[in-house]
Amino acid sequence: MNELLLRELVPAVIGVLVRRGADFASAEDAVQEALIRALETWPDDPPRDPKAWLVAVAWRRFLDAARAEASRRGRELAVEVEPPAGPAPATDDTLRLFFQCAHPTLPRSSAVALTLRAVGGLTTRQIATAYLVPEATMAQRISRAKRRIAGLPLDQPGDLETVLRVLYLVFNEGYGGNLDLAAEAIRLTRQLVALTDEPEVAGLLALMLLHHARRASRTGPGGRLVPLGEQDRSRWDTGLIAEGVTILQAALARDRLGEYQAQAAIAALHADARSACETDWVQIVEWYDELLLLTGSPVVRLNRAVAVGEADGPQAGLAALADVNPDLPRYAAVTAYLHERAGGLEHAAELYAEASRAATSVPERDHLTREAARVRQLLRP
């Protein structure tokens, strides 16, 4: 199925969604996500009716987005209609709901997923992307979790680690574009810092602040993605950076290292560099080694390969990729970047194009498409 046919179907599919009640902008966004899904799946499994397939997938994306927006607006409305009763409290019930939803009878991964869906306002697709599993698998996991706790008293709060994971994933989703989610995650984590003496809670808050400090520089005109190395560092929020570093230093002094503290240390090293070329990549690799010991995460392995490529050269980075699953999201993009730095421009251009086809968002796809075009331009005599 070629891309031209897909593009020709777009106006008709948008029209169907609008007639079903979607506003034009939301319909357009949903169809763009459906197009990405089509480019991923149709080469191996082409549908009998391309238009009907696009309508079905786009409508599901629209409904997921609408539910997430309704959940967010519901929380805002609840705050707006709360009758004044004196000074505003320092905390609200949201954290309590997080702990209650993360029921101790559930496996941690299921508790996190259910809390994200029921309280965090994330869609099933967003949660599945965070966990690197198919959307249908995550939907089943959430359904099983709901059935398991149906009828059980919610007087046994879940553990702190589960709630930290929820807050981390909510922030990550917000950092990718939803400012309300990011701000809410920071607000709730501040509350949690005030309620507990655990250094990992402080580490998570430091991580959020250090990343949030760069938010204004992450996108250009029209939502265009700006990579870290190309960001205008004068736009970074130095107040948030200073607060994040202070909180991190106090947490690390407790000598009870956890994954959020290690991630925050990496973010602090990026924030400390006055320019991309002054980044202390050797120390960043050391922190990734610590983080890998703590988590064993394949995503950490992938990110570590980039850091190794910066610290020891692109060939070393490519060698580090040997331990990374090539099915990981952004594997092709990382490989393209390292091959480009190693001088393999033709292969890099092919990999950037491959990565763009596997992108999970329109801004990311457009960025990778531009990278492929830029490298191809370098190949011209």
Helix residue ranges, H only, 157-258: 160-175, 179-195, 199-212, 238-252
Residue 80 vs residues 40, 74, 178: alpha-carbon distances, Å: 43, 10, 20
> What count of other Cβ atoms lies within 10 Å of the Cβ of residue 26?
18
pLDDT of residue 12: 84
The lowest-confidence range among 113-117, 175-179, 292-296 is 175-179
Instruction: State yes or no: pLDDT of 315 exceeds 90.
Output: yes
> Are 163 and 196 a contacting pair, CB within 8 Å?
no
pLDDT digits (tens, 9 = 90+) for 108-142: 677 777 777 776 677 888 777 766 678 888 788 77
Q: For residue 39, give both structure tokens.
A: 């480019």
pLDDT at residue 286 is higher than 90: yes
DSSP string over 286-322: HHHHHHHHHH--HHHHHHHHHHHHHHH-HHHHHHHGG
User: CA–CA separation, 370 vs 111, rounded Å?
Assistant: 39
Predicted confidence (pLDDT) at residue 21 exceeds the cutoff of 80: no
Q: How far apart are CA 11 and CA 128, in angstroms?
A: 28
Bigger pLDDT: 194 vs 65: 194
Say what the pLDDT of residue 74 is. 54
Mean per-residue pLDDT, 185-199: 90
> With bands split at pLDDT 50, 70 and 90, how would you rate the model's confidence at 81?
very low
Domain locations along the chain? 1-88, 91-192, 197-219+234-279, 289-328, 332-381
Q: Which residue, 72, 90, 284, 261, is CA-closest to 178? A: 72
45 and 68 in contact (C-beta within 8 Å)? no
In this structure, what DSSP letter does residue 274 have? Answer: S
Specify whether the CB–CB gap between 363 and 224 falls below 8 A.
yes
- CA–CA gap between residue 197 and residue 202 (Å, rounded): 8
User: Which of 177, 191, 208, 186 minimizes the C-alpha distance to 271?
Assistant: 208
Q: For the whole model, what pTM was predicted?
A: 0.70
> Would the pLDDT of 47 be above 60?
yes
pLDDT of residue 339: 96
Angle ∠(169,175,176) on CA atoms, nearest 5: 95
86 Cβ partners below 8 Å, 6+ apart? Answer: none
**Of the candidates 101, 106, 96, which has an alpha carbon nearest to the alpha carbon of residue 116?**
101
Q: Is the pLDDT of residue 85 over 60?
A: no
Q: What number is the average pLDDT over the span 76-84?
A: 47
Q: With cut-offs at 50, 70 and 90, classify the pLDDT of residue 78.
A: very low
Task: For CA atoms 246, 248, 252, 256, give the dihedral sign.
Answer: positive
